[in-house]
Chain A
Amino acid sequence: MQLFLFILRRLIYSIIVIIGLSLLIFLIARIVPGDPARMALGANAPQWLIEKYHEEMNLDKPIAVQYGLWLRGALRGEFGNSLYTKRKVIEDIGEFLPATVELVLFSGLIMGIGGVLLGMLSAKFNDSWVDNIIRVFSYMGVVTPSFVFAIIFMLIFGYLWPILPAMGRLSRGIAAPEPVTGMIVLDSLLKGNFPAFWNALKHMVMPAFTLALGGLSQEARITRSSIVDNISKDYVLSHQSYGIPGPSIWFRFLLKPSLIPTVSVFGLDFAVLFANAFLVEMVFNWPGLSRYGINVMLQKDLNAISAVILVLGVIFVVMNIIADIVISALDPRIRLGMAKGE
């Protein structure tokens, strides 16, 4: 019940946040100077055509009316047409979002599992050469922008030792599976299309690792320091004095509280992957929503910009709620706080 109320409260807050976000992005997208119709149609487009586009996009109406019309459409999943692809924005999102979701899920998996494992390893061998190597690696991972990793991976595994494909989601000649989720790796598994699965997986490796490395390093550092902090606490010492075996202490008593900061940061990092994905998608020519978002921003494609930011905003909010729930499951103090409505 406490958990239900907590989720309900967070959902209500989230709806308020998303409405606020929608207003903000709507206004910002329109305050930015430049006529989107002129940009899309070219310098020589006749004035009557520009005006026709203004009318179709409701740009000839007062800003409050524009927002009302946009919000009404958005609630029905209609964001209007894109000036960039010249089709409905919702169709663009339906096509490009699964590619980004797939990439981010794989990156998240690598980031979460890899980060926790490296953090545990580093804490286990605290101040040893293993710890030092992992810490140096983690610092490098945190400070290096993902596009640098992209270039390095591309040059090594795409060019010098070409074992991985350099771009896209599938090789030419490999038939894609019938779309179920739009995520090719998953769809090819669901359809039992193993050549496509293997090919899509190979395409996934470089972009997913590139995207994951920054977060992975962050998670490793946080997990390590959290475990190192907790390992000297009284409850661990008392468990040791009862003669409970080391692995049990680690996995039953130490890891759970130590993962709270990791999960908290992971939730944010996972959502940030969507934003960071654009550079990786550009370099690896990954046809995802983040790359689409950058292209529509460059073309001041108002409908598409608003929709992309709104979708990313919703994902961010949902990820935060998920992180909160997981943390509450891990930490009884937070559950207690929930009960008190704190």
Chain B
Amino acid sequence: MTKRLYLSLIAVLFMLIAVLTPVAVMAGKGGGDKEQKAVETPTAQPVAEKLVRFTAVWPPESLDPCCGQDTASSILYANVYDSLVFPTAEGTVEPSLAESWNVTPDGLSYTFNIRKGVKFHNGDELNAEDVVFSMERILTMGEGYAYLFEPVVDTIVQDDDYTVTITMKKPFGPFLKALVNLYILNKDEVLAHIESEGSFGELGDYGKSWLLTHDAGSGPYMVREMKLAEHCIADRFDGYWQPFDANNPDSFTLVGTNEPVTVRTLMGNRELEITDQWQSSENYKAMDDIEGVDIAYFPSGSILAIQLHNRKPPTDDVHVRRALAYAMDYGSVIQALYPGSTQPVGPVSVVFHDHKKDLHQYKTNIDMAKEELSKSKYYGKLDKYPVDVCWPAEWVAADKIGLLFQASAAKIGVTVNIAKRPWAKMIADISNQDTTPHANILTVSPHYGDAGSNLSRYHSSSSSTWEQTEWLQDPEIDAMISDALATVDAAAREAKYYALQEKLDEMAPSIWLVDVTQRHAYQAAYLDWAPASTGMVIPVQGYKRYMRHIKVYPDRVPE
């Protein structure tokens, strides 16, 4: 018996080894990054040095600026790389790597004079060749922010070591603002790390694998450690071409989590300086009660809307759409879910300077709603046309919006059926005009700091994506959008944006619910976060956590 027991135990041990050996082998290989040894997390560290630690809902995807476009990646790009121009809080751009530039009157050619003496993190000097390489790479790969350039950029040529010329396929008014998202890579360093196996011919993988966890930038911070799906740590780059303030952070850490209890605990322990923007109102309130912690409110440029299907009865009737817009209880949505936010005035966020402020606004007014409904061709037979409202099931807070919409519509006799779906299913449904529900609750964020970004989603080319479930398909709107975006002169473009906003407001293709304000809890006692303290918010993704705009005072940390 004893012998059998021993044999059995040996068998168990053997099986455990069989399970754990492959794990050990794989781990021994380094889990994909052979040079990456240190595993660090921002816990239990007293605020002795000038650190900024912040959370994002998703962990950073990649350090390759030609791949990602999510919030976490955008924050990293803004801090680790430089672009030709730098966005301002006024919605314009100022010189960065490009000291100056010339645009031909027809808007078809841009010549940039590149700043001399700029060093990459490895010490190489940045020149025009790197700019050409970066643009060509993003166009070839087609990922990340490539969609901003691919439709408009024809060629990019190096005129001399410090001059490049971009020739356009067609004029694109906000091109300079879009260039904020063209981050300049060190060509030599990327080419030195190409893996032969890849889908880019002789360029192999174009350096994608290496850039997942390594940076090749010239920005104010250089990456020390990037753990995919976990965190990224970056240190101040002392060779940066612009001066640092003495109190700018020495390093920053981005952690991919938004777990409420974790975030609150870390804030209470002073192990986190800035939270993500996705915490619940209750958690913000709890964190606001922590000594030295404040809540910052920033306009994000994103518009939360109920997108109404413009080609499906009954929402194909403008009067039904307007009636639903008048019936909606905006105050309750904002109060319950978006404190600090405002109701949008039309399709463009107030954050953009070319937003038309005196536009008509659909305020809650049941009498107006009923009056509009009476003009509808469906009046008196709306019971035959129930409206399906959908939102991503993973977005729990949207349940309240859906129910409020249902209750608001009921006041004017419109039946609303709840049809929330998993995000994957919703994407599949909205890719087809026939399967797209009547109403879809979605937030669309701007791609660049210009009203054109909010407006361009109404172009037919955006139909079948979650950016436009209205299926507007209106040739007049398409022409107006194309014309406005092709206008290089800012004043003329603004006038066209105004006309477009008026037209869309009249058509009421969507119920514009919330001009979304982001909320962040932050350690106000020892952090001077310029967007929070001065209200100067750069309306471009990633730049609210630009580290050179943050100062840390470790001696002010509350006991």
**What total of A-B pairs shows CB separation below 8 Å?**
230
A172: which of B40, B209, B227 is its contact (CB, 8 Å)? B40
Q: Determine whether the beta carbon of B428 is less than 8 Å from that of A35.
A: yes
Q: Determine whether the beta carbon of A167 is less than 8 Å from that of B41.
A: yes
In the bound complex, residues from chain B placing their C-beta under 8 Å from that of A45 are 142-143, 147
In the bound complex, residues from chain B placing their C-beta under 8 Å from that of A75 are none
Let me know if A170 is at the binding interface, CB within 8 A.
Answer: yes
Q: Which of A16-24, A120-128, A154-162, A238-246 contacts B (4 or more CB under 8 A)?
A: A154-162
Q: Determine whether the beta carbon of A88 is less than 8 Å from that of B37.
A: no
Q: Determine whether the beta carbon of B42 is less than 8 Å from that of A154.
A: no
Q: How far is the CB of A273 from chain B (nearest CB, A)?
A: 14
Given A39-B424, A87-B212, A169-B39, also A329-B8 (CB < 8 A): yes
In the bound complex, residues from chain A placing their C-beta under 8 Å from that of B209 are 87
Q: How large is the interface on B (under 10, 10 to 19, 20 to 34, 35 or more residues)?
A: 35 or more
A 297-321 binary contact with B (CB < 8 Å = 1; else 0):
0101000000000000001001001
30 contacts between A and B (CB under 8 A): A32-B422, A32-B425, A33-B429, A34-B424, A34-B428, A35-B427, A39-B427, A45-B142, A46-B147, A84-B61, A84-B229, A85-B228, A87-B212, A90-B26, A93-B26, A94-B31, A96-B229, A97-B23, A154-B262, A170-B40, A171-B43, A172-B41, A180-B27, A182-B31, A283-B262, A298-B394, A318-B15, A322-B12, A325-B12, A329-B9
- Rounded to whole angstroms, the CA-CA distance of A64 and B45 in the bound complex is 53
Q: Determine whether the beta carbon of B229 is less than 8 Å from that of A166.
A: no
A 323-340 binary contact with B (CB < 8 Å = 1; else 0):
001101100100100000
- Rounded to whole angstroms, the CA-CA distance of A38 and B8 in the bound complex is 51
Given A3-B7, A95-B27, also A154-B261 (CB < 8 A): yes
In the bound complex, residues from chain B placing their C-beta under 8 Å from that of A78 are none
Let me know if A7 is at the binding interface, CB within 8 A.
Answer: yes
Most buried by A among B28, B142, B424: B424
Given A94-B26, A171-B45, also A3-B262 (CB < 8 A): no
Q: Which residue of A lies closest to B461 (CB)?
A: A44
Let me know if B208 is at the binding interface, CB within 8 A.
Answer: yes
Q: Determine whether the beta carbon of B261 is less than 8 Å from that of A172.
A: no
- Rounded to whole angstroms, the CA-CA distance of A175 and B224 in the bound complex is 13
Let me know if B266 is at the binding interface, CB within 8 A.
Answer: yes
Q: Which of A48-56, A65-73, A132-140, A215-223 contacts B (4 or more CB under 8 A)?
A: A48-56
- Rounded to whole angstroms, the CA-CA distance of A35 and B7 in the bound complex is 51
A94: which of B29, B271, B426, B428 is its contact (CB, 8 Å)? B29
Interfacial residues, chain B to chain A (CB-CB below 8 A): 1, 4-5, 7-9, 11-12, 15-16, 18-20, 23-24, 26-32, 37-45, 58, 61-62, 67, 69, 142-143, 146-147, 150, 199, 208-209, 212, 227-230, 233, 253, 255-257, 259, 261-262, 264-266, 268-269, 271, 394, 422-429, 431, 447, 462, 465-467
In the bound complex, residues from chain A placing their C-beta under 8 Å from that of B467 are 43-44
Given A90-B26, A180-B24, also A44-B465 (CB < 8 A): yes
In the bound complex, residues from chain A placing their C-beta under 8 Å from that of B212 are 85-87
7 more contacts with CB within 8 A, not counting A98-B23, A285-B262, A329-B9, are: A32-B425, A86-B61, A88-B32, A162-B269, A171-B44, A172-B253, A318-B15
Closest 8 CB pairs of A and B: A182-B27, A168-B41, A34-B424, A95-B31, A94-B26, A91-B32, A329-B8, A33-B428
- Rounded to whole angstroms, the CA-CA distance of A172 and B42 in the bound complex is 5
- Rounded to whole angstroms, the CA-CA distance of A96 and B228 in the bound complex is 10
Given A44-B447, A181-B27, also A86-B208 (CB < 8 A): yes
In the bound complex, residues from chain A placing their C-beta under 8 Å from that of B43 are 165-168, 171-172, 203
Q: Determine whether the beta carbon of A101 is less than 8 Å from that of B23.
A: yes
Q: How far is the CB of A51 from chain B (nearest CB, A)?
A: 11
Let me know if A247 is at the binding interface, CB within 8 A.
Answer: no
Q: How far is the CB of A81 from chain B (nearest CB, A)?
A: 10
In the bound complex, residues from chain B placing their C-beta under 8 Å from that of A97 are 23, 26-27
Given A44-B467, A176-B37, A295-B229, also A181-B31 (CB < 8 A): no
Q: How far is the CB of A54 from chain B (nearest CB, A)?
A: 13
Given A88-B32, A168-B41, also A181-B257 (CB < 8 A): no
Q: Which residue of B lies closest to A279 (CB)?
A: B259
In the bound complex, residues from chain B placing their C-beta under 8 Å from that of A285 are 41, 230, 255-257, 259, 262
- Rounded to whole angstroms, the CA-CA distance of A331 and B538 in the bound complex is 71
Q: How large is the interface on A (under 10, 10 to 19, 20 to 34, 35 or more residues)?
A: 35 or more
A159: which of B62, B146, B265, B426 is its contact (CB, 8 Å)? B265
- Rounded to whole angstroms, the CA-CA distance of A172 and B250 in the bound complex is 14
Let me know if A130 is at the binding interface, CB within 8 A.
Answer: no
A43: which of B424, B429, B462 is its contact (CB, 8 Å)? B462
Q: How far is the CB of B196 from chain A (nearest CB, A)?
A: 15
Q: How far is the CB of B434 from chain A (nearest CB, A)?
A: 15
Q: How far is the CB of B545 from chain A (nearest CB, A)?
A: 19
- Rounded to whole angstroms, the CA-CA distance of A58 and B160 in the bound complex is 44
> For window 143-197 of chain A, which residues contact chain B by CB distance below 8 Å?
150-151, 154-155, 158-159, 162, 165-176, 178-184
